[in-house]
Amino acid sequence: MPSTPYPKGSSMAYDSAKQTSVLDGDELIGRLTAAGLDIRPIPAGPSHTDVRHLGGTSAVPRVFRGAVNGWPACRRWRPGLLREAHGDQEVTALMDLPSTGVLLPQDQAAYERCLSFGEFLDAMQASPADSPCYLAYKRPEGLFPEDDYDFSIFGTGADADTDTRVWVGSAGTRSALHSDLKDNLFCQIWGEKLVILLGWQDSAAAYPFPDNLVNSRIDFMDLDLDGYPLLRSAVLYAQIVRPGDVILIPRGCWHDFTALTPSISINHWYGPSVRARDYIRLLLSLGPRYWTPVARDFVVHGVLRRPEKTAFFFSPPSTGKRLYDLVRWGNFSRGNDPTG
C-alpha cells in the first residue's frame, strides 16, 4: 500500500542528547511539502531481513528502523574511537565543498586534500554546513574493520557482484539527486541524514542532464518547481535516517542525501544492474534535445577517447561514452559499475 503523505507542518524532529542537528530535516521536508510536492514516508520493510526479492526498478524503497543497531560499527565508528585507532593514517578527502547546486564549480580534483584521518575527523566535526568536507565513496578496508558490519544478514551475499563503501562527512555534505545501477542497502552508523527518493518509473520528473542520464538537474535545497513541473505529479519519499537505520534503495531509484549532522554511513550495492535497454528507452522518451549531446559524447569521449570533466560528484561516464562502451565492449555500464 502507498504511504500516507506527510501533512504540512508535520514534526519529525530528532531529539538526541548526544548530537544536535545542524540542519533541520523536518523543516526541509515541510518546505517541499508546502511547495505542493507529494512527499511520503518511506514504507517500512518486512520483519524478516532477506531483501533479495525486494529490489528491481519497479520496487518501492523500504526502511528498516534500527536493523543494524547490533553491529559493532554503531558502537565503534565514532570520531574519538576512530581517531585513537587510525588517526595517523593518510586519507584523501574533499574539503571546502559547495553546499548548494548539483554541479561542482570546479573539477572534483580541485577539492581533494591529503591529510591524516585524525585531522579529517577534527575538520568533519568543526566544518560549518556551508563549507562541508567529505571522505566519500571509500572502501572500508584499512580504517573500518570488516568484523564491525555484516551485510550477510540481509541475504545479499558478498561476491564479485557486490560492493561496499563508507561515507564520512560534516553537516551539509550532500550527494545530489542521482540513480545507481544496483540495488543498494544504505546504513546510517553515526549522526543523521535526510534522504529523498524518486522511483525509476518517474525518471522523467528527475530531469536528468542531457549528457548524463544518472544525474539530476534538481537541487532540493533550492528547488525551482516552475523549471521542473513534472515533479508536481510524481511521488517522492523522504525520511530522516538515524544510527542503526537501513534504507533499501531499489536499482534505478533516484536518491538525494543531505547530512543534517556530522555523519558516518556505509552502503552495499548488490544484485543485477539496470539493463542497458531500460536506459536507452529512457533516453528515447526524453526526446531529441537529449540525443545531440549523446551523439557528441559518443564521438568525443568514446571514439576519440578524450577525457571527461568531473563536474558531477564522483562523475560517472557520460551517456554517449556509455553507449560507445555498449557498442565497443557490449557493456553499457563498463565505467559506472564499482564492482566491474
| Angstrom distance (rounded) from CA 260 to CA 202 | 26
| Angstrom distance (rounded) from CA 31 to CA 225 | 12
| Angstrom distance (rounded) from CA 165 to CA 140 | 6
For residue 205, give the C-alpha cell: 520528473
pLDDT of residue 260: 95
| Angstrom distance (rounded) from CA 283 to CA 276 | 11
Q: How many CB atoms lie within 10 A of CB 211?
A: 18
Average pLDDT, the chain: 90
Please report which confidence band the pLDDT of residue 43 belongs to, taking 50, 70 and 90 as the band edges: very high
| Angstrom distance (rounded) from CA 90 to CA 109 | 17
Summarize pLDDT for 52-89 with one digit per residue, the tens.
899 999 999 999 999 999 999 999 999 999 999 999 99
Helix, strand, or coil (residue 246): strand
Summarize pLDDT for 259-306 with one digit per residue, the tens.
999 999 999 999 999 999 999 999 999 999 999 999 999 999 999 999
Summarize pLDDT for 192-207 with one digit per residue, the tens.
999 999 999 999 999 9
**β-strand pairing of 263-270 with 254-259:** unpaired
pTM, whole model, 2 decimals?
A: 0.91
- Under 8 Å CB-to-CB from 12, ≥6 apart: which residues? 25, 26, 29, 240
Least confident of 9-23, 110-124, 125-139, 302-316: 9-23
pLDDT of residue 10: 34
Q: Are 160 and 57 in contact (CB under 8 A)?
A: no
pLDDT of residue 2: 46
pLDDT of residue 124: 96
Q: CA angle, 250 as apex, 133 and 294 as ends, to 5°?
A: 75
